[in-house]
Chains A and B, each alone.
Chain A
């Protein structure tokens, strides 16, 4: 295994272990949001057709992914900056992009159950067929990475952690 892959694996392990106390809660929140969004559509539009439901339900994963990127990332980064742990991690001999990639992997893994649940639930509840294209992989990656990098940008461009937390 080359050096970068090894460091990526180690940082991912570190992140996963560090977040294991909040991971179950984050997963539950993601699942509840996905569930609430899909079922809530039926209450907002009682006479919703399968086509409209399909259109709206397939937007749920985007909301889940953006919520991870734009809410969780800036909140957690700003907390670690306040505690000083962020500087510690960045003082390690790990390329910045490797660390961010490990971070992004973990956040993507948190988001995926919510994405799958919202799609499967939507298909079952509103009776539309679900055909999964391979394009979903780059599309999801693009959305989650955009969200995460925006989250990083927010956490770093605002100096006061409390303001970051208020905004997000």
Chain B
């Protein structure tokens, strides 16, 4: 893990973590992760994959069945108080801000986290300005939309950031303009030497925002690396997408198109750059025979990797032989 991670100082280290709420049903199944100082690490996975349970253990709200979690080398299972000081947290659920104005909520958390009044006030003002929320500064939270409440929750996590800032689905319900502003603020947190753990199932946003990521499914880490390394796994860094004619059968896929998924009339596969020419030829041929309506070939996205790894709701048609070919890079 350390070798894969590189030379940066490790801030959060999770080793062989197991957690179950019902005996015999693991929610986290042998999870090991290491996050370094100043990195943005994405934790991706479908609903119920065990992401929130993992976060609960990192911030000391739940105890693992076995395994270890350290922050800056401190065992936070033994000292959960250290975790609460070291982690600032934006929960996916509501934050208790009814009755408060935006600035009151942000300043209260900043002061609870140990900031002095002047520093907290300046930082709160800066965040509200940067996220273009000034007109809501002194309005009561009861009048906020869902997106505005999430922005306030983000500011509460960012006002006096800890060593680790944990953001659970931070951009849900937020408009596109402020999403962009929010990602800029996440980068600012990194510049302030915080490590960001981003929990999400929004793969497109994660691809642009994170330095590294882990995909978690059914409680296990099923894939981990940089977005580029995951997309280029085994040299399969290109994708082909076909839209099949409504009454046509699914075409037979050539050997060089791997990790194929069929969702409705969409067939998506992965291939190497060297196979683009025969793939385009194959697709054009299918179009001429009215088997497909259209096709496209382009760089693989993280979403393709995610769907391949998690495979929920899709018909996986890759054979074991093809998977083996991918593993050995044949």
Contacts and interface: CB of A to CB of B under 8 A. Distances in A.
A93 B85 contact: yes
B84 A93 contact: yes
A92 B93 CA distance: 15
A90 B112 CA distance: 12
Contacts of A93: 81, 84-85, 112-114
Interface stretch (A8-16, A49-57, A142-150): A8-16
B94 A84 contact: yes
Nearest to A90: B61
Interface stretch (A17-25, A29-37, A107-115): A17-25
Contacts of A80: 96
Interface stretch (B97-105, B205-213, B293-301): B97-105
A11 B93 CA distance: 20
B41 interface: no
A156 interface: no
B276 interface: no
A89 interface: yes
Contacts of B108: 10, 13-14
Interface string A84-122: 110111111111000000000000000000000000000
Contacts of B94: 83-85, 88
A11 B96 CA distance: 12
B59 interface: yes
B89 A20 contact: no
B111 interface: yes
B106 interface: no
Contacts of A94: 84, 112
A18 B112 contact: no
B61 A92 contact: no
Contacts of B87: 91
Contacts of B111: 6, 10
B91 interface: yes
B95 interface: yes
Contacts of A90: 61
Contacts, number: 68
Given A92-B84, A93-B81, A93-B84, A85 B113 contact: no
B309 interface: no
A92 B96 CA distance: 12
Interface residues of A, number: 25
A109 to B, nearest CB: 16
A7 B112 contact: yes
B65 to A, nearest CB: 19
B109 interface: yes
Contact of B93 (A18, A21, A85, A95): A85
A6 B108 CA distance: 11
Contacts of B99: 17-21
Given A90-B61, A95-B81, A85 B96 contact: yes
Contacts of B100: 14, 17-18
Nearest to A13: B108
Contacts of A19: 99
A94 B93 CA distance: 20
A106 to B, nearest CB: 12
B84, B96, B104, B108 — which one has the most chain A CB atoms within 10 A of its CB?
Answer: B96
B113 A83 contact: no
Nearest to B91: A88
A85 B153 CA distance: 11
A87 B91 CA distance: 9
Given A10-B108, A13-B108, A18-B98, A91 B84 contact: yes
Given A84-B93, A85-B93, A87-B91, A92 B98 contact: no
A19 B87 CA distance: 27
Contacts of B84: 91-94
8 contacts: A18-B97, A21-B142, A84-B91, A84-B92, A84-B94, A85-B95, A92-B113, A94-B84
What are the 7 A-B residue pairs with the smallest beta carbon separation, nearest first?
A84-B93, A85-B96, A93-B85, A18-B99, A93-B84, A17-B99, A91-B89
Interface of A: 3, 6-7, 10-11, 13-14, 17-21, 80, 83-85, 87-95
Given A84-B91, A88-B89, 6 more contacts: A3-B114, A10-B111, A87-B56, A88-B93, A89-B96, A91-B87
